[in-house]
Structure 1
Amino acid sequence: MNLVIWLIVGGLVGWVASLIMRTDGQQGLLLNVVVGIVGALLGGWLISPLVGAGTINQGSLSVAALGVSLVGAVLLLGIVNLVRRGRVR
């Protein structure tokens, strides 16, 4: 059951990040889940030590964990846009 919640929350985080970065039309449900989970890993590696909060990958479903995961997902989409187009939208 924990895996299902992890996939749902990862999909929501990825979807919100894609709305922020305006890439929602280019990605579907599966890519939103991947962006949410990989973005949470990136946020856990870069941002979590700075703010002292966990991520959704660490089993924590708090507002701080969702924020760290969202910032990580936005960073991931920014990096992908930078590599693909040469600029961040």
Structure 2
Amino acid sequence: MEILWMLIVGGIIGWLAGLITGRDIPGGIIGNIIAGFIGSWLGGLTLGSWGPVIGGFAIIPAIIGSIILVL
């Protein structure tokens, strides 16, 4: 169940990054999930793990990292 929750939260993070930047992420839902996972890793690496944590992702650094990845 935890893996499913991580996939859902990763997809939402990637989708938000695409909305904020105004760019379409290739690959649809799978692309959003991948952008969410890589963006959360990038955000955690550069900004640390602060803010609310949902599904194993620190939300604020994950969104910022995903935005950087999409740009």
Superposition TM-score, scaled by structure 1 size: 0.68
Runs of 4+ in 1 over 3 A off after TM superposition: none
Q: Which residue is 2:40 aligned to?
A: 40
Please list, as runs of the form range in 1=range in 2, the aligned pairs for 1:67-82 lying within 5 A after superposition. 67-78=60-71
Higher strand proportion (structure 1 or 2): 2
- What's the secondary structure of 1:12's corresponding residue? helix
- Counterpart CA distance in 2 for 1:73 and 1:43 is 7
Answer 1 or 2: higher relative contact order, Cα 8 Å, separation at least 6: 2
Please list, as runs of the form range in 1=range in 2, the aligned pairs for 1:3-22 lying within 5 A after superposition. 3-22=3-22
Larger Rg: 1
**Which consecutive residues of structure 1, in runs of 5 or more, have no partner in the other structure?**
79-89
User: Contact 1:44 / 1:54 at 8 angstroms: preserved in 2?
Assistant: no
- Counterpart CA distance in 2 for 1:40 and 1:68 is 7
Tell me the C-alpha RMSD between the 2 structures: 2.3
What is the aligned counterpart of 2:59 among 66, 73, 85?
66
**Which consecutive residues of structure 2, in runs of 5 or more, have no partner in the other structure?**
none
- Counterpart CA distance in 2 for 1:14 and 1:45 is 17
